[in-house]
A and B are shown apart, each in its own frame.
Chain A
Amino acid sequence: MINQPQPRTSTDDRVIGDVIMQMKDITLRFGGVVAISSISFDIREGEIRAIIGPNGAGKSSMLNVISGFYRPQEGEIWFRGRKRPAMKPYQVARQGIARTFQNIALFEGMSVLDNVMTGRLNHMNPNVFLQAIWKGKAEREEVENRERAERIIDFLEIQHIRKTPVSRLPYGLKKRVELARALVSEPSLLLLDEPMAGMNVEEKEDMSRFILDVNDEFGTTIALIEHDMGVVMDLSDRVVVMDYGKKIGDGIPDEVRSNQDVIDAYLGVSHD
């Protein structure tokens, strides 16, 4: 690899491991529109990897490709050293890839606790007959997973609203509940789609802190999308920059910041 990730701070004792996911020459088209054209990059275990770019650069499409929602026409996805076959989104989720959404996608008719508990679905194996009588394994499983859910709820400081229907929550809290739902599944790769979109400075700081804590305490690998350069540069270990569906930069934040193409893309230089 060209760019060895640099430690973020001197006190940081995180271990950045091997490549966990590798995207090879991904191309995604919608009819005649090319959303992603031949992009390759990798994500290493334990790092925070950012994908940035102006609006319409194809960042969200890339995330959708990773989570299996869009199927690229060309290219390969390697996960944990193995080429990933064509998969449905739920199969991808079961491999340990969790995500949040740009426009919050919580289950509005359910309470915060139930929303978080849906994140545990991949770890639960319901037996209809035991569930029907609510005895034995069904009840045990419920309590065990409830304990794990409560741990994440504590961690993200949303205990006070656990029985509130999510439809009644303000935007910032909803984002946090969504993060909780993704985290509780103990993902090996966590995808965050614009986790700070539409937040004020304070909420952004809170969210940044949570992201760093998650990465630190659980060692979760995180890939996130943002178009706010400032936040991303502080948070991430390595950055991919996209523009018009192409990769125009890849490296540690300082390198990317000084990359002429990236500056052009953000300041707006005419493409000729």
Chain B
Amino acid sequence: MFYREAGDFKISYVADNQTFPIAFDRYRYYAILVVGFLVLPFWVDDYLVNAILAPFFIYAIAAIGLNILTGYCGQVSLGTGGFMAVGAYSCYKLMTGFPDVSIVLHIILAGGITAVVGTVFGLPSLRIKGFYLAVATLAAQFFLVWLFNRVSWFYNYSASGQINAPERTVFNVPVTGPNVEPWAMYLICLFFAFFSAVIARNLTRGTLGRTWMAIRDMDIAAEIIGVNPLRAKLTAFAISSFFVGISGALFFAVYLGAAEAGDSFGIQKSFIVLFMIIIGGLGSIFGSFAGAALLVVLPVFLKLIGVDLFGWPTDLVAHIQLVIVGLLIILFLVLEPHGLAQLWRIAKEKLRLWPFPH
């Protein structure tokens, strides 16, 4: 009734290729953008941004990155935390080395550096497949974190071994450092999340995306019909790491303000981002957002219920959270391997016919 595609005909392939071919979807998308960019910045407060919105956008970018590699190209990586660290530390080095250059450029460049590092660690993927590769990416995770902990050049020889983001501004509004307004933090995270999503969507719906998916679904057949597997996998590693690097840079510079490789970018980060794409939906940009939202909101929600409402000890709630996350992963894999994105698709199929199913 409300959601329909009847009468919405396409007369050109351009029109048929768009991201939201159904008019209703397209208008809802525009509405969300208007609210996100023009309404929410006037309304958000410190708690909302720090507890939910900023981590949501940042994790969503990481999830988009990992989804390109794992969901679209079929290469499981447990090195996301390590690559986020690369983004964070290169951003730090750029910020301190070239203080006059715009922070936005620094963050993008940090993504570029991470892409190069990711490509290097992606090289073995030609010979190693499946969980062998997953374990091999652990090498990236542990090695990179060790490197940033031990080589003091990376943290500018600071005594604490930490990196601290100096204040940088966009249009004279501080976006890093101690004086960031919630709305500024919100906007810069939203800005990067939005463009990451658009770029990822464009890449995955075209030639490159099909190359990746061909490798994912049947790598041998893909090679025989003319896909160069090394090139396909390396582009996936590079582009995936680019997004993960941007996410790491934002996480450190904008969100945390100070970071230490082992604490902020340990192996737990790798798992959390992997869980986001499993729960949200492998091979779906929307799923990356959905999964990030769920796993960002869940701890906040549990804390509200457990600690604030019932007065339980924090560590107990943290343990319950582990159990719930584990259960969610298993439940989704058993019941709906395509995650929240698939549930959303099914809901839309139902809505098309509602309320007159015949």
* Mask of A127-146 contacts with B, CB within 8 angstroms, 1/0: 01001111000110111001
Q: How many residues of B contact A (CB 8 A)?
A: 31
**Is B341 interfacial (CB-CB < 8 Å)?**
no
Q: In the complex, A110 Cα to B235 Cα: how many Å?
A: 20
CB-CB under 8 A from A124, the residues of chain B are 207
- Evaluate contact between B210 and A142: CB separation under 8 angstroms: no
- Evaluate contact between A121 and B210: CB separation under 8 angstroms: yes
User: 5 closest Cβ contacts across the A-B interface?
Assistant: A93-B226, A105-B221, A107-B217, A126-B207, A134-B202
Q: Which B residues have a C-beta under 8 Å from some C-beta of A? A: 12-14, 17, 199, 202-203, 205-208, 210-211, 213-214, 216-218, 220-229, 235, 239, 283
CB-contact partner of A109 in B213, B235, B239, under 8 A: B213
- Evaluate contact between B227 and A121: CB separation under 8 angstroms: yes
CB-CB under 8 A from A181, the residues of chain B are 225
CB-CB under 8 A from B224, the residues of chain A are 67-69, 89-90, 92-93, 99, 105
Known: A110-B217, A128-B203. A90 touches B14 (CB 8 A): no
A149 to chain B, nearest CB (A): 10
B98 to chain A, nearest CB (A): 23
- Evaluate contact between A131 and B216: CB separation under 8 angstroms: no
CB-contact partner of B206 in A98, A107, A119, A138, under 8 A: A138
Known: A109-B216, A109-B217. A185 touches B206 (CB 8 A): no
30 A-B pairs with CB atoms under 8 Å apart are A90-B227, A92-B224, A93-B225, A94-B226, A101-B221, A105-B220, A107-B213, A107-B217, A107-B218, A107-B221, A107-B222, A109-B216, A109-B283, A110-B210, A110-B214, A110-B217, A118-B211, A118-B214, A118-B225, A121-B207, A122-B226, A126-B206, A126-B208, A128-B203, A131-B208, A139-B14, A139-B17, A142-B207, A143-B14, A146-B13
Q: In the complex, A122 Cα to B210 Cα: how many Å?
A: 12
Q: How many residues of A contact B (CB 8 A)?
A: 42
CB-CB under 8 A from A110, the residues of chain B are 210, 213-214, 217
Interface set, chain A 147-204, CB cutoff 8 A to B: 147, 150, 181-182, 185
Q: In the complex, A114 Cα to B72 Cα: how many Å?
A: 13
CB-CB under 8 A from A141, the residues of chain B are 207
- Evaluate contact between B206 and A134: CB separation under 8 angstroms: yes
Of all chain A residues, the one with the shortest Cβ separation from B18 is: A134
CB-CB under 8 A from A132, the residues of chain B are 199, 202-203
Q: In the complex, A110 Cα to B222 Cα: how many Å?
A: 13
A47 to chain B, nearest CB (A): 23
- Evaluate contact between B17 and A107: CB separation under 8 angstroms: no
Residue among B14, B199, B206 with the highest chain A CB neighbour number at 10 A: B206
B198 to chain A, nearest CB (A): 8
- Evaluate contact between B221 and A133: CB separation under 8 angstroms: no
Q: In the complex, A130 Cα to B172 Cα: how many Å?
A: 32
- Evaluate contact between B229 and A90: CB separation under 8 angstroms: yes
Of all chain A residues, the one with the shortest Cβ separation from B283 is: A109
Q: In the complex, A225 Cα to B97 Cα: how many Å?
A: 64
Of all chain A residues, the one with the shortest Cβ separation from B206 is: A131
